[in-house]
Amino acid sequence: MIMGEALARIRVSEEVVLEGVTDAHKIIGMRNVLIHGYDSVDVSRIQDAIERSLPKLIQEIERQLE
Protein backbone atom coordinates (compact mmCIF):
# COMPACT_ATOMS: atom_id res chain seq x y z
CA MET A 1 0.00 0.00 0.00
CA ILE A 2 2.79 2.39 0.90
CA MET A 3 4.64 1.87 -2.39
CA GLY A 4 1.45 2.40 -4.37
CA GLU A 5 0.70 5.59 -2.50
CA ALA A 6 4.26 6.86 -2.96
CA LEU A 7 4.18 6.13 -6.70
CA ALA A 8 0.77 7.80 -7.03
CA ARG A 9 2.19 10.96 -5.49
CA ILE A 10 5.31 10.79 -7.66
CA ARG A 11 3.08 10.42 -10.72
CA VAL A 12 1.60 13.84 -9.97
CA SER A 13 4.87 15.69 -9.43
CA GLU A 14 7.64 13.67 -11.14
CA GLU A 15 6.05 11.43 -13.76
CA VAL A 16 9.41 10.87 -15.48
CA VAL A 17 10.55 8.93 -12.39
CA LEU A 18 7.85 6.34 -13.05
CA GLU A 19 9.57 5.40 -16.30
CA GLY A 20 12.28 3.72 -14.20
CA VAL A 21 9.80 1.61 -12.25
CA THR A 22 8.46 -1.48 -14.00
CA ASP A 23 4.68 -1.77 -13.73
CA ALA A 24 4.34 1.42 -11.69
CA HIS A 25 0.74 1.84 -12.79
CA LYS A 26 -0.06 -1.74 -11.74
CA ILE A 27 1.45 -1.06 -8.32
CA ILE A 28 -0.74 2.02 -7.99
CA GLY A 29 -3.73 -0.06 -9.08
CA MET A 30 -2.97 -2.74 -6.50
CA ARG A 31 -2.81 -0.06 -3.83
CA ASN A 32 -6.26 1.10 -4.87
CA VAL A 33 -7.63 -2.43 -4.64
CA LEU A 34 -6.08 -2.93 -1.20
CA ILE A 35 -7.50 0.35 0.09
CA HIS A 36 -10.89 0.45 -1.61
CA GLY A 37 -11.63 -3.12 -2.63
CA TYR A 38 -10.19 -5.05 0.27
CA ASP A 39 -13.21 -7.37 0.30
CA SER A 40 -12.19 -8.74 -3.10
CA VAL A 41 -8.43 -9.08 -2.61
CA ASP A 42 -6.85 -12.24 -4.01
CA VAL A 43 -4.32 -13.17 -1.34
CA SER A 44 -2.34 -15.41 -3.70
CA ARG A 45 -1.91 -12.47 -6.09
CA ILE A 46 -0.56 -10.32 -3.26
CA GLN A 47 1.81 -13.11 -2.19
CA ASP A 48 3.02 -13.50 -5.78
CA ALA A 49 3.70 -9.77 -6.05
CA ILE A 50 5.68 -9.83 -2.81
CA GLU A 51 7.79 -12.81 -3.82
CA ARG A 52 8.36 -12.01 -7.49
CA SER A 53 8.01 -8.30 -8.02
CA LEU A 54 9.12 -6.68 -4.78
CA PRO A 55 12.84 -7.57 -5.10
CA LYS A 56 12.92 -6.05 -8.60
CA LEU A 57 11.06 -2.97 -7.40
CA ILE A 58 13.58 -2.48 -4.59
CA GLN A 59 16.47 -2.68 -7.09
CA GLU A 60 14.83 -0.15 -9.41
CA ILE A 61 14.18 2.29 -6.57
CA GLU A 62 17.75 1.94 -5.33
CA ARG A 63 18.98 2.78 -8.85
CA GLN A 64 16.72 5.84 -8.91
CA LEU A 65 18.18 7.03 -5.61
CA GLU A 66 21.80 6.81 -6.80
User: pLDDT tens, position by position, for the chain (66 residues)?
Assistant: 888 888 889 888 887 788 888 888 888 988 988 888 877 888 898 898 889 888 998 998 888 888
Q: Number of folded domains in the chain?
A: 1
pTM of the model: 0.75
Q: What is the pLDDT of residue 59?
A: 92
Q: What is the pLDDT of residue 51?
A: 92
User: 47 is in which domain, residue-wise?
Assistant: 2-65
C-alpha dist (Å) from residue 52 to 18, 22, 26, 49, 56: 19, 12, 14, 5, 8
Q: Comparing C-alpha atoms, which of 20, 23, 28 is closest to residue 2?
A: 28
